[in-house]
Amino acid sequence: MQYGMIIDIDKCVGCHACTIACKAEWEVPAQFGRNWVYRLGPAKTSTGELAFTFYPGLCNHCDKPACVDVCPADPVEATFKDVKTGKTKTMEIAATWKDPFNGTVQIDKTRCMGCGACADACPYGARYVNPDLADDESEGKADKCTYCMPRVAEGLQPACVQTCLAGARIFGDLTDPNSEVSKYVKKGAFGLTSKNVQIGPNSRYYGSKKKDIELLKAQAPQEMPEASTRRIMLAKMMQPAMKQIRDLGMLGIAGSLLVKSMQEEDKE
Amino acid sequence: MAINLTRRNFLKTASLAAASVPLSKVVAKAETGVVKTPLIPPGSFKDTKTAVGGICEMCFWRCQLVGKVRDGRLVKLEGNPKSIDNGTAICARGNAGIKLLYDPDRLKYPLKNVGKRGAPKWKRISWEEALNECASKLKGIVDKYGPHGLAMFPHGASAKYPMHFFEKTVGTPNVSEASFFQCRGIRDTAYVATIGTAPGENVDMPNAKVIMLLGGHFGENVHVSHLKRYLKGLENGAKLIVVDPRFSASAGKADIWVKIKPGTDTAFLLAIMNYLIQNDKYDKKFVEEHGEGFETMAEGISEWTLEKAAAICDVPASQIKEVADLLAANAPNVSIHPGRHVSWYGNDFQRERSLACLTGVLGAYGVKGGFVKPKGPKGFGKVSWPHGEHEGENLKEIAGKYPFAPPGTPTELIRDAALSGDPYPIKGCVIWGQNPIQTIPNQQRTIRMLKQMDFVMCVDVMPTDITMFADILLPECSYLERYDYIKKGTQWNFADKHQQYVSARMPLVDPGFERKDGVWITNEIARRMGYGDKIPVQSQEEMVDKILAGAGLSIAKLKAEDGIHIQPGKDPYGISEDFTVNFANEDLEDEGFPAIPTYIPVEEPPAGYMRLLYGRAPVHTFNRTQNNVWLHAAMPENPVWVNDKVAKRLGLRDGDRVSFVNQDGVKSRTTTTVKVTPGIREDAVYMYHGFGSMNPELTVGYNQGVDDQSLITKLAVDPETGCSGMRNNFVRLVKAS
């Protein structure tokens, strides 16, 4: 299967409920977002028409995710299980990977070094490094939309889908021809791709108005970001250094102060 | 359900499709003794208890909520799945409610101002001291000047109880709610003068063939079930007409956008009506059966040719005809939206009358897709303060003005009396959940009014601008920490099974710090002022239970029903035989106003100035949410929309920072960014209302963006109602260095 999400921009009114619901559900720091709503226009299109629409974006859980290949974390062997068929698959994964069975891209925060290479590599800007999760081995952890897999596992809709007053967000299995998301694909739902960015996004958009689609398609990234080898190198070099510092416990003290002050802030 | 499966099947597959997690996870051991927050946030479904009975107050639509509570702390708000109003959906503000609840800037203790009004120094005092001070000061003023020596500015559901105490029992007539005098009041009284009832927003959009919005910008203005109506209508194929000087979010979805010149809407509506009447495209049968004074109106508006209106409204005559024809072709199933915030130009009563009359001309009352009032649940108990013995006239009667004012006293009359002492002094002020600095035009006059008071008390949840002028400042429970009035209604789509619902606000968490609810605060003050024997209920719970008892319900029953009681509803369609549309209204004429809808021109911008228009942002409510850290992050300021041609002439580029100067030479205290767009007329600029708070205690919202109200200094008062028109001010943009 391949999970995917459709955003119906005919219905979307740009109310931002999806972005705030996500912050609440997953404790996303205020200044960051696992998803976003950009307001496009009012602007004139190529035909001179006025258009005003929205780009509600999130991780695309791509077929060929650029973020996965650049992760410098030491690979570990992991076994995945298809809950439908019981089939298993064992493969080497870094701290971020694409699930062989449900097609979502996930992060193991315990092994993430917070180097930000994946965030740099994503042409959609769908990842950020969450500084609230800094520990004695990192300055934060990569974070992004997970398609709310933990909620889905409980039989719930993703938080953004549940709160959407317009019914503009539709979540489901793109490989099931009878799913609502597949019907949208048949109707012409598209991913934000361009000549040089073709990595198979599975969050897709549908709109019936040409002028809206034109504004939205202009948001597609035009180039793949340069892989930040410098960042990866640094992360690799930092690993042993970090371990040494940790043994000294200095960062531990600083970290504990930081965590303590954050906890105090959390308390009213 | 968005997913095309039966619910059971969906749950089955969804639970099967559990997130596959690597089985051989490497767990990093913390070797430093640092207790880390868990790296994987647990999500709202993990180890939370669901608290039911929440009713939102991030705006006044009052969606029904459930709260997810973990260890006594509210971690998430969601729509109540049982709701037939908002369902599981809540908007951005609703979702951000927990950040209001836990906002570190919130008021926590009773405070006494030991500095100056406007430059306060706060000293924490006990409730006992605070209540004694409020009661003795207020009583002193009543004893010296009479009850009309007090003024009250309440806002929102929470302030009804204290408002009734001061208005009915203490007996001050000087009560002004922003929700009326700066918002919906004109709409309500204009419709009452036309069809005998206030309209609410009751247009049956889901089943309409055409929806017409005049200034309504849905999507930027968000009320959940109302938007559901609108979107269902569009989904069902309704044609959308949007009349607005700005290309709004609604205009983006519209079939026809009428780029009207601000202030001329009535001319546009009169021309449509005249065209329909002249060309026999109106609902003759409806007009004969339910119309009063139709011929008078028809004759009176016969001068309004398409061309005449086109010249005034600055839109093509062909477009006015196109709108009229589209409405006529789909009548009576058309939704002519009455609007919500309508105090714009000081000629607004006439515009609202025109909307009500146009609905009649099209026969769109009581029919599918037209103006239809829901039939909600009935029989509730009343909880109210008893009327005392009061003598003397109120300011309206003394002035002999504004006979069609909504309930209360026009704000301007209160302010004038307070500043002049004529016809009587006003020396005490109670402000409860309203921020008159940002609700009422001409801030300096408001500040002067407050400075001449002997005593000012504020009750609020946040240190808003106005609280800087309080002598005593009391911390109220937020909507998540208290019981409150009931919310009732019907399903939003009349095509669905007819159902009614009743819910009442219940606390989802205990109040923090020393916050108290409005019933308690009011009663304690009342007792100390000598009105102890008049107290109608002893507690907020008793109030809610008394109201519910009338309908055979109680808090306990509602709780047992997950916070919402649902019962069979009634078909809302149809109108009574005696339903009347007063196309001409003699009562208006008797008071010296035009009997038929009449266009009153507004002033043009002086050379070099543009009209200042304002509106709603989807993530903010008035000036209540700018300090909310999540909502602030979503929209930290209010960019000013400037027409692209104008921007070019002025040498302004998208993203430049500007300040403002208005026609009276008043400068904005702060700056904001420029949004250059072809989507606004050249003679106007536009920004979201509610930004640029002046109270430094709002550590997030302080000085963010520009306060539009600070630039609204020239007053325009609607002659029939005394409401404040707030779109008759003009500004220049000054590039910030």
Residue A226's pLDDT is what? 82
**Contact with chain A for residue B29, Cβ under 8 A:** no
Which amino acid, one-letter code, is at B711?
L
**Interface touch A165/B25, C-beta < 8 Å:** no
Residue A229's pLDDT is what? 66
pLDDT digits (tens, 9 = 90+) for B314-330: 999 999 999 999 999 99
B28: pLDDT confidence band, cut at 50, 70 and 90? very low
The mean predicted confidence, pLDDT, of chain B is: 94
pLDDT digits (tens, 9 = 90+) for B381-430: 999 999 988 878 899 999 999 999 999 999 999 999 999 999 999 999 99
A228: pLDDT confidence band, cut at 50, 70 and 90? low
pLDDT digits (tens, 9 = 90+) for B44-99: 999 999 999 999 999 999 999 999 999 999 999 999 999 999 999 999 999 999 99
B3: pLDDT confidence band, cut at 50, 70 and 90? very low
**Interface touch A20/B23, C-beta < 8 Å:** no
Q: How far is A163 from chain B (nearest CA, A)?
A: 4
Q: How far is A196 from chain B (nearest CA, A)?
A: 28
> DSSP letter at B314?
T
Q: In the beta sheet, which residues pair with residue A172?
A: A4
Residue A240's pLDDT is what? 55
Average pLDDT for B119-141:
98
Average pLDDT for A145-153:
96
3-state DSSP assignment of residue B259: coil
Between positions 93 and 132 of A, the ones with CB within 8 A of B are: 93, 99, 101-102, 104, 106, 108-111, 132
- The CA distance from B322 to B318, in Å, is 6
- The CA distance from A237 to B409, in Å, is 72
Q: How far is A24 from chain B (nearest CA, A)?
A: 6
Closest residue of chain A to B19, computed from CA coordinates: A149
Closest residue of chain B to A265, computed from CA coordinates: B104
**Contact with chain B for residue A19, Cβ under 8 A:** yes
**Contact with chain B for residue A258, Cβ under 8 A:** no
Residue B17's pLDDT is what? 35
B268: pLDDT confidence band, cut at 50, 70 and 90? very high
Helix runs in A132-249, H state only: 149-153, 159-163, 180-187, 210-217, 229-248
pLDDT digits (tens, 9 = 90+) for B682-726: 999 999 999 999 999 999 999 999 999 999 999 999 999 999 999
Taking alpha carbons only, the member of B216, B236, B365, B382 closest to residue B289 is B365
- The CA distance from B214 to B272, in Å, is 13
Average pLDDT for B288-300:
98
pLDDT above 60 (res A54): yes
**Interface touch A52/B619, C-beta < 8 Å:** no
Average pLDDT for B639-657:
98
- In sequence order, the 6+-apart residues with CB closer than 8 A to the CB of A253 are none
Closest residue of chain B to A246, computed from CA coordinates: B32
Angle at CA of residue B440, ends B434 and B443, nearest 5°: 110
pLDDT above 80 (res B36): no
Residue B199's pLDDT is what? 97
pLDDT above 50 (res B34): no
Residue numbers in B near A151 (CB within 8 A): 43, 45
Burial group, residue B6, by CB count within 10 angstroms (0-12, 13-18, 19+): exposed
**Contact with chain B for residue A228, Cβ under 8 A:** no
Residue numbers in B near A85 (CB within 8 A): none
- The CA distance from A209 to B253, in Å, is 9
Residue B231's pLDDT is what? 98
Q: In the beta sheet, which residues pair with residue B55?
A: B64
3-state DSSP assignment of residue A40: strand
Average pLDDT for A162-174:
98
Residue B30's pLDDT is what? 36
Q: In the beta sheet, which residues pair with residue A40?
A: A53
Taking alpha carbons only, the member of B605, B563, B518, B690 closest to residue B263 is B605
Residue numbers in B near A262 (CB within 8 A): 37
Between positions 200 and 239 of B, the ones with CB within 8 A of A are: 218-220, 222, 224, 227-228, 231, 234-235
Instruction: Find out whether B426 and B151 touch, Cβ atoms under 8 Å.
Output: yes
Taking alpha carbons only, the member of B599, B135, B186 closest to residue B352 is B186
Residue B157's pLDDT is what? 63
Helix runs in A117-228, H state only: 117-121, 149-153, 159-163, 180-187, 210-217
pLDDT above 60 (res A185): yes
**Interface touch B32/A246, C-beta < 8 Å:** yes
**Contact with chain B for residue A177, Cβ under 8 A:** no
Residue numbers in A near B27 (CB within 8 A): 110
Tokens 């949007």 -> residue: B242
Residue B362's pLDDT is what? 98
Examine residue B332 and say whether the peptide bond preceding it is cis (omega within 30 degrees of 0): yes
pLDDT above 80 (res B532): yes
pLDDT above 70 (res B353): yes
**Interface touch A155/B28, C-beta < 8 Å:** no
For chain A, domains (ranges, CATH) are 3-217 (3.30.70.20), 229-267 (no CATH)
% chain B with pLDDT above 70: 95
**Contact with chain A for residue B20, Cβ under 8 A:** yes
Residue A238's pLDDT is what? 63
pLDDT above 50 (res B115): yes
pLDDT above 90 (res B600): yes
Average pLDDT for A96-109:
97
Closest residue of chain B to A36, computed from CA coordinates: B634
The mean predicted confidence, pLDDT, of chain A is: 90
